[in-house]
């Protein structure tokens, strides 16, 4: 007799972990809506733009990683961005994910509270380079499945997960990376389950990385990609794994969740709503918590002909934003790494020159060069306002009030900043982002070839290695 089923076609007589991994194992490219395919390609293009920015911005950490991994011996399997060498697949996933999160410009998801692209796409690209002949459709499917695993599990444990100090990019990213790698290796449902389970055991990542600016934060994304790849390989080799990885009293939910635990988030509209469509894309090279204030500043600056007339700026924003990017030590940055985690600096840059530029405002930042911007930072007061956030509704905004010397007070409310799925960036927008981020790394002709390869990804039979394509230039 066939097992009793519930919404999403999942058997009732299996635990949640088994039912979820069965769905992921059974999912096929033909099940994906056209809108999901298109948005996945957009995020892949954004991945490469973000990686180029991270490669340039986080140079000290990148040099250290290149030195450490370059000295290791191993199979020459997978390409690494902007590098002529090949590395073991797990190492390639680590390095590419580190670059992608290096400028904090990579995609994210509001409910997850993390960045899926770094761990998931890095693992998928590395797995694809060792999986033999594939199609672009298979790569797209693997990425969608990795995002689905990472975001749904993250939604089940947030916001308590973040409140306890965990970084979901590292924790749930390990699971998403394992799933993506498994899909490209064509493993059985049982093997995918064991990789998923092993990834829950290996998951890690703390938000304390933000206390070092951006230097250490990419390691959570990188380690998630690496460990997810490793879990997929171990499962394929026959390693046993816990049978109740999410639900056990010793399992993932108990360790990483809190009072806000919502296991139902895993099966809510499963197969009907694909979570990758809910990801945002960043127009600025700073933490997403800084973007609502920056967008408000972009609107208000048109009403301030002389910035010296600003007397005080009050920025009302959700407490989680202040927790992540409102540290007093970063409020008036003194080092480049602090700039990406300063709500005040992002707002001040946009008030001053209508943008936050990778090269000028981050890489070449010094307090001397940014004197006028930092003077604006000193006038910014951050005020916690829980009403500017509704996690379940996807609302994450702010309210800005600027007092001027002439007695006027300018006000602007942002509900959703540009790049959120409700206010999306287009392919043209992301192509422009790639041009800005990859300047000096890729010629315009190389950027055009990458753009054509990504936008035609579902038609590639066989799949053309996108990382190798970049390095060919």
Q: What percent of the chain has pLDDT over 90?
A: 84
Domain limits, CATH 1.10.4100.10, in the chain: 5-280
142, two tokens: 């693997």
Residue 213's pLDDT is 58
Does 1.10.4100.10 match the CATH number of domain 5-280? Answer: yes
Radius of gyration of the chain, Cα coordinates, nearest whole angstrom: 22
By DSSP bridging, strand 398-404 and strand 409-414 are: antiparallel
Q: What is residue 125's DSSP assignment?
A: H
Q: Which residues of the chain have pLDDT under 70?
A: 1-13, 212-214, 473
214 vs 96: CA distance, rounded Å: 16
275 half-sphere exposure, CB direction, 13 A CA radius: 31
Distances from the Cα of 132 to the Cαs of 127, 129, 135, 231, 453, in angstroms?
Answer: 9, 7, 10, 20, 19
Domain limits, CATH 3.30.1330.120, in the chain: 288-414
268-325: pLDDT as tens digits: 999 999 999 999 999 998 888 999 999 999 999 999 999 999 999 999 999 989 998 9
Query: So what's the architecture of 288-414 in CATH?
Result: 2-Layer Sandwich (3.30)
232, two tokens: 């997929």
Burial label for 8, CB within 10 Å (0-12, 13-18, 19+), is middle
Kindly report the number of other CB atoms within 10 A of residue 199's CB atom. Answer: 35
Q: What is the pTM of this model?
A: 0.89
209 vs 54: CA distance, rounded Å: 16
117 vs 283: CA distance, rounded Å: 15
Residue 473's pLDDT is 65
Cβ 127 vs Cβ 142: under 8 Å: yes
228-271: pLDDT as tens digits: 999 999 999 999 999 999 999 999 999 999 788 999 999 999 99
Kindly report the number of other CB atoms within 10 A of residue 289's CB atom. Answer: 21
User: In degrees, to the nearest 5, what angle opens at C-alpha 178 toward C-alphas 147 and 6?
Assistant: 60
Of 393, 244, 281, give the one whose Cα is nearest residue 49: 281
Residue 390's pLDDT is 87
457 vs 315: CA distance, rounded Å: 42
């Amino acid at each position: 007799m066939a097992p009793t089923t519930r919404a999403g076609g999942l058997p009732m007589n299996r635990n949640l972990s088994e039912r979820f991994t069965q769905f992921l194992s059974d999912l096929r490219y033909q099940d994906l809506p056209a809108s999901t395919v298109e948005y996945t390609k957009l995020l892949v293009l954004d991945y490469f733009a973000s990686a180029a920015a991270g490669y340039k911005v986080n140079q000290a950490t990148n040099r250290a990683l290149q030195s450490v991994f370059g000295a290791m011996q191993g199979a020459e399997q997978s390409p690494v961005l902007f590098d002529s060498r090949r590395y073991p697949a797990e190492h390639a996933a680590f390095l590419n994910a580190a670059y992608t999160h290096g400028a904090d410009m990579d995609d994210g998801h509001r409910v997850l509270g993390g960045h899926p692209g770094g761990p998931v796409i890095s693992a998928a690209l590395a797995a694809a380079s060792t999986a033999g002949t594939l199609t672009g459709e298979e790569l797209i499917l693997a990425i969608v499945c990795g995002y689905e695993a990472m975001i749904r599990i993250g939604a089940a444990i947030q916001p308590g997960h973040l409140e306890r100090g965990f970084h979901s990019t590292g924790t749930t990213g390990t699971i998403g990376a394992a799933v993506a790698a498994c899909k490209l290796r064509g493993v059985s449902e049982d093997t995918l389950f064991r990789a998923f389970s092993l990834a829950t055991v290996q998951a890690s990542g703390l938000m304390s990385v933000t206390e070092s600016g951006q230097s250490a934060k990419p390691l959570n994304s990188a380690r998630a990609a690496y460990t997810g790849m490793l879990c997929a390989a171990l499962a394929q080799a026959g390693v046993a794994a816990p049978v109740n990885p999410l639900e056990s009293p010793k399992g993932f939910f108990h360790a990483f969740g809190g009072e806000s635990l919502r296991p139902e988030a895993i099966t809510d509209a499963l197969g009907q709503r694909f979570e990758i469509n809910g990801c945002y894309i960043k127009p600025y090279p700073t933490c997403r918590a800084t973007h609502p204030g920056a967008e408000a500043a972009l609107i208000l600056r048109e009403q301030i002909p002389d910035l010296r007339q600003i007397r005080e700026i009050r920025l009302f924003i959700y407490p989680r934003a202040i927790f992540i990017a409102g540290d007093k030590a970063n409020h008036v940055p003194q080092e480049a790494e602090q700039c990406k985690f300063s709500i005040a600096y992002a707002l001040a840059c946009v008030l001053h020159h209508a943008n936050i530029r990778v090269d000028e405002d981050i890489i070449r930042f010094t307090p001397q060069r940014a004197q006028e911007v930092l003077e604006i930072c000193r006038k910014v007061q951050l005020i916690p306002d829980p009403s500017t956030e509704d996690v379940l509704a996807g609302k994450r905004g702010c309210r800005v009030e600027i007092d001027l010397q002439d007695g006027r007070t300018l006000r602007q409310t942002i509900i959703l900043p540009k790049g959120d799925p409700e206010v999306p960036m287009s392919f043209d927008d992301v192509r422009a982002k790639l041009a800005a981020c990859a300047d000096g790394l890729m010629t315009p002709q190389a950027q055009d070839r990458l753009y054509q390869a990504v936008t035609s990804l579902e038609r590639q039979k066989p799949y053309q290695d996108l990382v190798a394509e970049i390095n060919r230039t």
